């Protein structure tokens, strides 16, 4: 029981950790951290948005509006939590942001500015910062704000360790996670490295060159915290491979994961034999529903090809 939606975080944690039988055999165990159980954006982005906002408000009590560059889950989480706090939210989105994302933001009452930027580049981030400064608005800047890293170090990693320890599986052999802003992979990596040394390997997942997968980026974009905690392995996955794994997991396990989670699944299948037997944790950042149009288009093409 919660007296308000603001009590959901962090009291709703931990998110589930579930063993995937279809990926566990012959000495390998795969456990999925289901971050789509977060209540607002149905994604792992609820964590940093909550932590960034509560810490920012300690220094910015009078801030009545929030501006952010976003293309998906972070913006949705900000819109939800801003509503609960009575703060106006303005989302600046890249030109190619899916209409579905824009519609969700508008349903939440956010002001949406579709910019001319193709991606969230340093130039776009600086543009939004200047707009916020000009209008005396709060700009959290998820790409540089260290609370993005700290929330995963202090909360996500710690709860994961407790869950694994409860079934005598900590430290795991490896943790497989996408590289986006790099907050969650780096925060988790630092916690497990500090506590267990090199016993847990960190596997980062990026799109193949020239391809794109929502929520993860290539290392050339220089995500801030991945420089602090570099992965032991980096696995490249194509969008096609990610889509196929989303469908594979849906049909094998009955859970509906998002595209970056599909990429994480593919990376696990690629790297596990090289790393060896043991317990693996797959970080599943969000669910399928924001990507239905992408998957529907892919299925239609497959049907046309099969005819």
Domain residue ranges of the chain, discontinuous segments joined by +:
8-37+148-300, 46-139
Per-residue pLDDT band for 305 (boundaries 50, 70, 90) equals confident
Q: What is the pLDDT of residue 205?
A: 98
Rounded Cα distance, 258 and 134, in Å = 36
pLDDT digits (tens, 9 = 90+) for 147-172: 999 999 999 999 999 999 999 999 99
Domains 8-37+148-300 and 46-139 share a fold: yes
* Cβ atoms of residues 110 and 90 within 8 Å: yes
> Could you tell me whether strands 111-114 and 17-19 are parallel, antiparallel, or unpaired per DSSP bridges?
unpaired
8-37+148-300: CATH architecture: 3-Layer(aba) Sandwich (3.40)
Rounded Cα distance, 67 and 129, in Å = 8
Can you give the pTM of this predicted structure? 0.95
**Range 46-139 has CATH code 3.40.50.1100:** yes
pLDDT digits (tens, 9 = 90+) for 78-94: 999 999 999 999 999 99
Q: What is the mean pLDDT of the chain?
A: 95
Per-residue pLDDT band for 58 (boundaries 50, 70, 90) equals confident
The residues, ordered by sequence, that sit 6+ positions from 114 with a Cβ below 8 Å of its Cβ are: 93, 94, 95, 97, 102
């Amino acid at each position: 029981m919660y007296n308000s939606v603001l009590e959901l975080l962090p009291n709703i944690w931990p998110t589930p950790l579930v063993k995937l039988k279809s990926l566990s055999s012959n000495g390998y165990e795969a456990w999925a951290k289901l971050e789509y159980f977060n209540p607002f954006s149905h994604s792992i982005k609820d964590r940093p948005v909550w932590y960034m906002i509560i810490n920012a408000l300690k220094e910015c009590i009078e801030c009545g509006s929030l501006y952010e560059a976003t293309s998906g889950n972070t913006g949705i989480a900000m819109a939800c939590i801003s509503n609960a706090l009575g703060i106006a939210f303005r989302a600046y989105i890249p030109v190619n942001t899916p209409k579905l994302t824009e519609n969700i933001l508008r349903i939440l009452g956010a002001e949406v500015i579709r910019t001319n930027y193709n991606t969230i580049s340093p130039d776009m981030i600086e543009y939004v910062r200047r707009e916020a400064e000009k209008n005396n608005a709060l700009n959290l800047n998820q790409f540089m704000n260290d609370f993005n890293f700290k929330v995963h170090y202090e909360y996500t990693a710690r709860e994961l360790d407790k869950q694994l320890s409860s079934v005598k599986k900590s430290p795991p052999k490896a943790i497989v996670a996408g590289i986006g802003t790099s907050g969650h992979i780096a925060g988790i990596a630092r916690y497990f490295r500090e506590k267990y040394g090199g016993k847990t390997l960190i596997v980062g997942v990026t799109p193949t060159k020239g391809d794109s997968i929502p929520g993860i980026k290539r290392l050339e974009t220089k995500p801030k915290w991945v420089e602090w905690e570099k992965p032991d392995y980096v696995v490249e996955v194509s969008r096609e491979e990610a889509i196929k794994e989303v469908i594979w997991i849906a049909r094998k396990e009955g859970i509906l994961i998002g595209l970056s989670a599909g990429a994480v699944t593919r990376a696990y299948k690629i790297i596990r034999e090289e790393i060896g037997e043991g317990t693996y944790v797959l970080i599943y950042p969000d669910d399928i529903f924001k990507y239905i149009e992408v998957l529907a288009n892919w299925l239609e093409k497959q049907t046309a090809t099969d005819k």
